């Protein structure tokens, strides 16, 4: 982003920009910064956007080679077109021949870095990769504080960290939930932890975490309560089972790497979790032995096989398995 802001300040723009990664908020933010600088609001004469696979290359060429209308630049945006994965070689030639008066911006969650198009942009244009895993807890806390400050609200750093820990490194979701908090507290100036608990939308993954925690405490009633709540929210038993299995596998990875004294950055990368989420898994590990985690994974795999082969119905099968996990003896 620092290099992009430098472009905005100097007015020395690349002909082609690629914004990629799994953090759509930052991609949208970068795109908007460029758009605000290059074209006036509502200027449909100099701005066009393609958002479907396999866009018409002839249309793109016609727009790109037209001289700007009462403007210095024309801007073409391709969103989610997979043009750098499945686009023909002709697209590379279009990028190479773009006039100085046209700026092209490609926004993709993922790209094929081996293709010529990506390599050309990397060498001749500008590539920015926005990844959730690169967002630090401090950055996310600052993001929350910034939104609240704009709305003349305050929050303690520990409570902002609590909110971040509950939601995770998704800036769109974090923004939405923070704005909901603003509405929830009304005229109150300070946002407190109890406000967060009261207003926060419960995410399925968060409920799975709670379920794993309740299993470790052998709280059968609470485990079944969470399961039934998820069923009422129209979550399929097989998806609940898959999320539960993934949670235990992540727990096992964290356990193995912690025992090997691996640094937190490496744990986060291999387990595919935010660095600050490691603390959550450490607290879960207090309720499990390694053998118990392996036993839970084995139960999940066995139940998935039984359900998919028709041996038992999905809803009753997952419920039965949860009871067995909660009532398990120490392995």
Q: Give pLDDT tens digits for 121-132.
A: 999 999 999 988
Q: Give pLDDT tens digits for 256-283.
A: 998 888 898 888 888 877 777 788 888 8
Rounded Cα gap, residues 121 and 127, in angstroms = 7
| pTM of the shown model | 0.62
pLDDT category, 201, cuts 50, 70, 90? low
Instruction: Determine contact, residues 43/74, Cβ cutoff 8 Å.
Output: no
Instruction: Determine contact, residues 162/193, Cβ cutoff 8 Å.
Output: yes
Burial, 104: exposed, middle or buried (Cβ in 10 Å; 0-12, 13-18, 19+)? buried
Residue 82 has pLDDT above 60, yes or no: yes
For tokens 């009422």, the residue is 232
Rounded Cα gap, residues 277 and 279, in angstroms = 5
pLDDT of residue 203: 63
Residue 329 has pLDDT above 50, yes or no: no
pLDDT of residue 127: 95
Instruction: Determine contact, residues 242/256, Cβ cutoff 8 Å.
Output: no
Residue 330 has pLDDT above 50, yes or no: no
Rounded Cα gap, residues 14 and 8, in angstroms = 11
Rounded Cα gap, residues 12 and 9, in angstroms = 8
Share of residues in the chain with pLDDT > 70 (%): 98
Burial, 197: exposed, middle or buried (Cβ in 10 Å; 0-12, 13-18, 19+)? exposed
Rounded Cα gap, residues 26 and 131, in angstroms = 9
Instruction: Determine contact, residues 238/304, Cβ cutoff 8 Å.
Output: yes
pLDDT category, 331, cuts 50, 70, 90? very low
Rounded Cα gap, residues 302 and 171, in angstroms = 37
Rounded Cα gap, residues 180 and 200, in angstroms = 8
All domains of the chain, ordered by start, with CATH?
2-130 (3.40.50.300), 137-199 (1.10.8.60), 204-326 (1.20.272.10)
Residue 20 dihedral angles phi and psi, to the nearest 5°? -135, 165
pLDDT of residue 132: 84
């Amino acid at each position: 982003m620092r290099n992009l802001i430098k472009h905005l300040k100097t007015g020395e723009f690349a002909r082609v920009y690629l914004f990629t990664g799994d953090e759509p908020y930052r991609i949208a933010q970068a795109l908007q910064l460029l758009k605000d600088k290059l074209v006036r609001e509502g200027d449909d004469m100099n701005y066009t956007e393609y958002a479907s696979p396999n866009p018409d290359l002839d249309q793109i060429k016609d727009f790109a080679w037209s001289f700007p209308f009462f403007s210095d630049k024309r801007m073409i945006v391709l969103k989610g077109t997979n043009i750098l994965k499945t686009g023909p070689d002709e697209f590379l030639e279009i990028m190479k021949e773009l006039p100085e008066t046209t700026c092209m911006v490609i926004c993709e969650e993922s790209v094929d870095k081996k293709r010529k198009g990506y390599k050309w942009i990397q060498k001749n244009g500008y590539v920015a990769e926005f990844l959730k895993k690169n967002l630090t807890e401090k950055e996310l806390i600052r993001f929350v504080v910034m939104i609240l400050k704009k709305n003349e609200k305050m929050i303690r750093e520990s409570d902002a960290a609590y909110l971040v820990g509950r939601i995770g490194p998704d800036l769109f979701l974090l923004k939405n939930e923070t704005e909901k908090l603003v509405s929830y507290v009304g005229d109150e100036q300070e946002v407190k932890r109890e406000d967060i608990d009261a207003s926060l939308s419960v995410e399925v993954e968060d409920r799975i975490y709670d379920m794993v925690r309740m299993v470790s405490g052998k709280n059968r009633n609470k485990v079944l309560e969470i399961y039934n709540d998820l069923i009422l929210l129209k979550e399929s038993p097989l998806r609940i089972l898959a999320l539960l299995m993934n949670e235990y596998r992540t727990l096992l990875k964290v356990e193995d790497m912690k025992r090997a004294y691996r640094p937190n950055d490496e744990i986060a990368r291999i387990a595919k979790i935010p660095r600050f989420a490691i603390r959550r898994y450490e607290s879960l590990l207090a309720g499990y032995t390694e053998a118990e985690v392996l036993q839970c994974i084995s139960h999940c795999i066995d139940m998935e096989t039984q359900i998919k082969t028709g041996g038992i119905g999905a809803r009753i099968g997952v419920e039965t398995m949860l009871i067995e996990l909660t009532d398990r003896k120490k392995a």
